[in-house]
Amino acid sequence: MKKTLTIVAFVFTFSVTVHAQGSNTKMKPFIDALMKKMTVEEKIGQLNLPGSGDIVTGQASNSDIGKKIREGKVGGLFNIKTVEKIRAVQKVAVEESRLKIPMIFGMDVIHGYETVFPIPLGLSCTWDMKAVERSARIAAMEASADGINWTFSPMVDIARDPRWGRIAEGSGEDVYLGSQIAKAMVKGYQGDDLSRNNTIMACVKHYAMYGAAEAGRDYNTTDMSRVRMYNEYLPPYKAAVDAGAGSVMASFNEVDGIPATANKFLMTDVLRKQWGFKGFVVTDYTGINEMIEHGIGDLKTVSAKALNAGIDMDMVGEGFLTTLTKSLQEGKVTTAQIDAACRLILEAKYKLGLFDDPYRYCDPNRSKTEIFTAANRKTAREIAAQSFVLLKNNGNVLPLKKSGTIALIGPLADTRENMPGTWSVAANFAKAISVRDGLQEAVGSNAKILYAKGSNLDADSAFEQRAGMFGKAFKRDSRTAQQIIDEAVAVANQSDVVVAALGESAEMTGESSSSTNIEIPQAQKDLLMALLKTGKPVVLVLFTGRPLALKWENDNVPAILNVWFGGSEAGSAIADVLFGDVNPSGKLSTTFPQNIGQVPIYYNHKNTGRPLAEGKWFQKFRSNYLDVSNDPLYPFGFGLSYTNFTYSAVELSRSSIKPTETLTASITVTNSGAVAGKEVVQLYIRDLVGSSTRPVKELKGFQKIELKAGESKKISFTVSVNDLKFYNYDLKYVAEPGDFKVFIGGNSRDTKEANFKLL
């Protein structure tokens, strides 16, 4: 390390000492001086972000990537891990390239590193911002201990369509909750000093509106009004930017007929001019090249368009690397644009402290002692338990007793590899805790756990192949479906209670996993029906990365615990909740529809001119369906507990406020059940009359509280004019005087309300 520091110091012969810690006054002259030495080609090289390719530690210098690095044609690498590998390749950059500029190292550290937390959709159901931040903090500590200093997270795309597989990667449908989570994640990753060796730079993605893909098909077109963008889709990206996120990733989709990657409105007008973003923008994987298929030009044209729009770094496709020099000669781009992009990349490296010490994140001791630690795993277990949502619990089937005989059945019951869920690129799959592991550990010798697989993931082996971690996690059982079910029924018949671990495999959601069927695969449903016929109480432990249509299950299964994909400790956390050691407190961050035809269905919709009368499910010439009511199966914000919470009436401290004033909305929440529990008290507002139509409810606050059995607490929210503002037709952010409603409750449907006026 000493040697390289000397080299770096030798190359940068300025009078200033290089200090990563904040000081922008030092950063500018440092980068000015460095850029003076750079050729145009070297500047363009900084904008290039290839994948890690063919690097082998011992021969990093001789690999194809190694050659490019030596020639100054690489700004950073991604999908590379371990201190040893990263150190080897960084060494090529800082010892063998002309200007010895260190590289940044990115990775998709999405919901944990080796210690995996719940998938983001599950994490959002904790409604616990401290837990969310903590998960990102631990992810950053582990990733940085393995050489990584940049994560492609948080993904803050609002999504209202469960067909879209990537709904699993975000925080659901709500703009307020999504914005809080965006902030917490950025804070968790970046801490308050990016140059510390255990913080990493965040990358907010996918900017923008990626979650509104038509028909829920990945990468598909999005098209919406500006008013909707500003009110319902853009705020979480802005929240992440306001929280100081160092980078932003452009999305694959088009917006207003221009792919985001060439969309100047998004990248420059909104991001830089309106929001004042100071970091750099990277494309998504081959995002520039894909604009050829979008149909807006050849590689040279689309690369120039991307730079013109405000893109700084090109992931994988090398459009910048191979065409920008030519475009510069032809006057299609300017030196100033290349300089500006290069400067932002260098600034990021400076802020990460890499000019001080290019091996800052390559401490072999940390990699041995700070990853997948017992303490991190304990936190992951606690957070996972908080992310589960109890959807049904008739007759208090749950919690289970740690005695008697429990039949654990289902294709997802004994699959460690399936527990972490999508985008778990660094997971320790072999050590993940399956449901079977977790239950067995919890009961010890006090109860008997019998296991049977019960079914394949799906009847169609081709589908199973596509959905089952590319075949890794699921060995197909070659017996007939009936034989597999019969075995499970025999096991169920010997038991006191059946725990059925069913649903989606990890790869059924995430990127490129859109689906038009959002029900539990038929083979598993057949199993469930057979288990119910035994007459034993059945608990459905549901794995999913999207809201599923569970009408039949809700009608027939006494208890349903939605466990998403809970991460490396999921099995232990599932046992914690099933046995009542932890009382479930998760609340849905997306609406669960009754059927796929209701999609998109979300709580903060508009009223229409022909809404249904309260309590009705069909009226002729009203906005509804012939075959299904407008109600969701489970509304946004919903989740049960092993106890009950009752809510008093809402009290307002005043019935009207001036724009400079605030009011307090209070409610008394009582734990009226027999055990302690946590409740998410939710505050919604409706603007009853606007210059534009306003949603029927909008989340504007929440508090997660804990109450002992029998305990009551008065919970207060402060409402200010800021909670009443929205983007009007002219995209002005305003609060309009008039009548408002405030609602408080334990979900978006069951609320108490009161009225007030803004004067």
Residue ranges binding ligand BGC (CB under 6 A): 108, 152, 205, 284-285, 511
Cβ-contact 498, 538 below 8 angstroms: yes
Q: How far apart are CA 250 and CA 424, in angstroms?
A: 21
**Least CB distance to ligand BGC at residue 155 (A):** 7
**Least CB distance to ligand BGC at residue 156 (A):** 12
Token pair listed for 460: 């169609």
Other Cβ atoms closer than 10 A to 32: 11
Report the residue number, 156 or 400, with the smaller CB distance to ligand BGC. Answer: 156
Contacts of 602 (CB under 8 A, 6+ apart): 160, 173, 590, 591, 636
457 vs 287, 518, 571, CA distance in Å?
34, 14, 19
Cβ-contact 488, 501 below 8 angstroms: no
Report the residue number, 287 or 438, with the smaller CB distance to ligand BGC. Answer: 287
**Least CB distance to ligand BGC at residue 314 (A):** 13
Q: How far apart are CA 149 and CA 146, in angstroms?
A: 9
Report the residue number, 285 or 756, with the smaller CB distance to ligand BGC. Answer: 285
**Least CB distance to ligand BGC at residue 511 (A):** 6
Cβ-contact 618, 624 below 8 angstroms: yes
Q: Which candidate in 146, 157, 161, 284 is catalytic?
A: 284
CB burial of 687-714 (b: ≥16 within 10 Å; e: otherwise) equals beebeeebbbbbbbbbbbbebeeeeebe
**Least CB distance to ligand BGC at residue 105 (A):** 13
How would DSSP label each residue in 298-348? -HHHHHHHHHHHT--BEESS-HHHHHHHHHHHTTSS-HHHHHHHHHHHHHH
**Least CB distance to ligand BGC at residue 668 (A):** 44
Token pair listed for 425: 């690129």
622 vs 275, 591, 608, CA distance in Å?
41, 22, 9
Written as one letter, the residue type at 88 is A
CB burial of 346-370 (b: ≥16 within 10 Å; e: otherwise) equals bbbbbbbbbbbbbbbbbbeebbeeb
Burial class of residue 749 (count of CB atoms within 10 Å of its CB; 0-12, 13-18, 19+): middle
Report the residue number, 43 or 205, with the smaller CB distance to ligand BGC. Answer: 205
**Least CB distance to ligand BGC at residue 341 (A):** 19
Q: How far apart are CA 310 and CA 296, in angstroms?
A: 17
**Least CB distance to ligand BGC at residue 543 (A):** 22
Report the residue number, 241 or 633, with the smaller CB distance to ligand BGC. Answer: 241
The helix (run of H) or strand (run of E) holding residue 329 is helix 319-329
Report the residue number, 160 or 205, with the smaller CB distance to ligand BGC. Answer: 205
Report the residue number, 148 or 502, with the smaller CB distance to ligand BGC. Answer: 148
**Least CB distance to ligand BGC at residue 166 (A):** 8
- Identify which of 515, 429, 523 has the alpha carbon closest to the alpha carbon of residue 469: 429
Please give the residue whose beta carbon sits closest to ligand BGC in the complex. Answer: 152
Cβ-contact 32, 24 below 8 angstroms: no
Euclidean distance between the first and final Cα of the chain, in Å? Answer: 65
Q: How far apart are CA 251 and CA 467, in angstroms?
A: 24
Q: How far apart are CA 743 and CA 741, in angstroms?
A: 7
Report the residue number, 261 or 572, with the smaller CB distance to ligand BGC. Answer: 261
Residue whose pair of structure tokens reads 């008997």 in the numeric block: 448
**Least CB distance to ligand BGC at residue 107 (A):** 8
Torsion from C-alpha of 161, 164, 167, 168, nearest 10 degrees: 140
**How would you classify the pairing of strands 203-207 and 280-282?**
unpaired
Cβ-contact 738, 689 below 8 angstroms: yes
Contacts of 324 (CB under 8 A, 6+ apart): 44, 47, 303, 304, 307, 333, 338
At residue 168, what are phi and psi to the nearest 5 degrees? -65, -25
**Least CB distance to ligand BGC at residue 146 (A):** 16
Report the residue number, 205 or 351, with the smaller CB distance to ligand BGC. Answer: 205
Report the residue number, 108 or 464, with the smaller CB distance to ligand BGC. Answer: 108
How would DSSP label each residue in 564-575? ----TTHHHHHH
Residue whose pair of structure tokens reads 């069913």 in the numeric block: 502
**Least CB distance to ligand BGC at residue 211 (A):** 12
**Least CB distance to ligand BGC at residue 354 (A):** 21
What 8-state DSSP symbol labels residue 154?
-
- Identify which of 60, 248, 244, 227 has the alpha carbon closest to the alpha carbon of residue 153: 248
Report the residue number, 512 or 718, with the smaller CB distance to ligand BGC. Answer: 512
Cβ-contact 314, 288 below 8 angstroms: yes
Report the residue number, 182 or 407, with the smaller CB distance to ligand BGC. Answer: 182
Residue whose pair of structure tokens reads 């520091």 in the numeric block: 5
Report the residue number, 207 or 372, with the smaller CB distance to ligand BGC. Answer: 207
How would DSSP label each residue in 494-530? TSSEEEEEEE--GGGSSTT---S--S--HHHHHHHHH
Token pair listed for 470: 């590319």
Q: Is 284 a catalytic residue?
A: yes
Active site positions, annotated: 284
